[in-house]
Amino acid sequence: MSDDLRNVIIIGSGPAGYTAGLYSARAMLDPLMFAGYMSGGQLMLTSDVENFPGYPQGIGGPEMMMQLREQAERFGLEVEDKNVERVDLKERPFKVWVEGQEFRAETLIICTGAEAIWLGAEGEEEQKGRGISTCATCDGAFFRDEEIIVIGGGDSAMEEATFLTRFASKVTIIHRRDVFKASKVMYDRAASHPKIEIKTFRSVKKWLSDEKGLTGALLEDPRDGSIEQIECSGAFIAIGHKPITSFLEDQIETDESGYIIHKHNTMTSVEGVFAAGDVVDTRYRQAITAAGMGCQASIDAERWLEDQE
């Protein structure tokens, strides 16, 4: 095999990517990973991970990702902190372009995960980074002793709201209905916190601002259209994520929301291309399930390569 032709290129570096890298490296497949400019995935934006087995006291998301990377690199995973711009999956070896340079691989494992969805309410574009954020871990400390709102009713909203109480004087969770997708334990932790108030049946209709930044929002009750104004200097949108697949330019079959579909075990609609983690997972979306799927994808790629010989 020539130097520039790899058995496996892994795209993406969350728990799925690093686990695929660990298994591929231990299988002597000489894997190369393009980890992205912001390597580590969504866990780099998470405070404490309390539900990954093996960490009885929990572990910080970034610390866990550093350990996963170190473990995979110990067995020979080569990691480049660069983004993949596009791929050509028409024939094998597949082609991957990174900063204009072409790489070739017999198999690909796509682990690019998902990114936060924005609300798209009036005035949002102008206030992004000036008070409206999708990452409490990144931006929470800017709002010391200020009033903040968090939009959403899932685990992310509960986690962000609870985390933000470290800084804010008050956190109000805004949810569009009175049923919460959040797990009971995370809902209860947020709902019982003295700094947190929960307002149900409210949607953000418009963001309000002055020359200094965000000042509040107009909230609409979806039941009767009535409007109320809330004041806040920070807002965190936590309404879910969408898969990162645009670099694939529709060469792989996805569902209507853009999530990659598995055709046979972890293989996608393109023979020799595998996918793992949040980029395929609309159901579990956990670090542990992503890691497990990364392991499966690596084993599937290894067996598929053996079958080709």
Residues annotated as part of the active site = 135, 138-139
Distance separating alpha carbons of residues 83 and 110, to the nearest angstrom: 12
The window from 77-85, 153-161, 261-269, 288-296 that contacts ligand NDP (CB under 6 A) reads: 153-161
> Is 137 near ligand NDP (CB under 6 A)?
no
Question: x/- string (CB under 6 A) for ligand NDP, residues 188-227?
Answer: ---------------x------------------------
Min dist. Cβ of residue 63 to ligand NDP (A): 15
Question: x/- string (CB under 6 A) for ligand NDP, residues 63-102?
Answer: ----------------------------------------
> Is 119 near ligand NDP (CB under 6 A)?
yes
Quote the distance between the C-alpha of residue 129 and its chain's center.
19
Min dist. Cβ of residue 237 to ligand NDP (A): 8
The window from 1-9, 61-69, 90-98, 152-160 that contacts ligand NDP (CB under 6 A) reads: 152-160
**Helix, strand counts (H, E) of the chain:** 7, 19
> Is 176 near ligand NDP (CB under 6 A)?
yes
Burial 145-168 (b: 16+ CB within 10 A, else e): eebbbbbbbbbbbbbbbbbbbebb
Q: In this chain, which of 155, 220, 300, 302 binds ligand NDP, going by CB under 6 A?
A: 155
The identity of residue 136, as a single letter, is A
Between 123 and 154, name the residue whose CB sits nearer to ligand NDP. 154
Strands 234-237 and 59-60: unpaired
> Is 159 near ligand NDP (CB under 6 A)?
yes
Q: Which residue is nearest to ligand NDP (CB)?
A: 154
Q: Please report where in the chains the tokens 């569009």 appear, as a residue.
A: 176
Q: How far is CA 123 from CA 120, 202, 208, 234, in A?
A: 8, 17, 7, 14
CB 113 within 8 A of CB 10: no
CA angle centred on 301, ends 298 and 303, rounded to 5°: 110
Reported residue count of the chain is 309
Q: How far is CA 204 from CA 198, 200, 228, in A?
A: 14, 12, 10
Min dist. Cβ of residue 45 to ligand NDP (A): 10
Distance separating alpha carbons of residues 303 and 21, to the nearest angstrom: 15
Q: Please report where in the chains the tokens 């990517």 appear, as a residue.
A: 17
Min dist. Cβ of residue 309 to ligand NDP (A): 39
> Is 153 near ligand NDP (CB under 6 A)?
yes
The window from 5-13, 235-243, 256-264, 290-298 that contacts ligand NDP (CB under 6 A) reads: 235-243
> Is 130 near ligand NDP (CB under 6 A)?
no
Between 77 and 173, name the residue whose CB sits nearer to ligand NDP. 173
Taking Cα atoms as reference points, which of 93, 62, 103, 97 lies closest to residue 83? 97
The window from 2-10, 30-38, 141-149, 232-240 that contacts ligand NDP (CB under 6 A) reads: 232-240
* Contacts with ligand NDP, residue ranges (CB under 6 A): 51, 119, 151-157, 159, 176-177, 181, 203, 238-241, 285
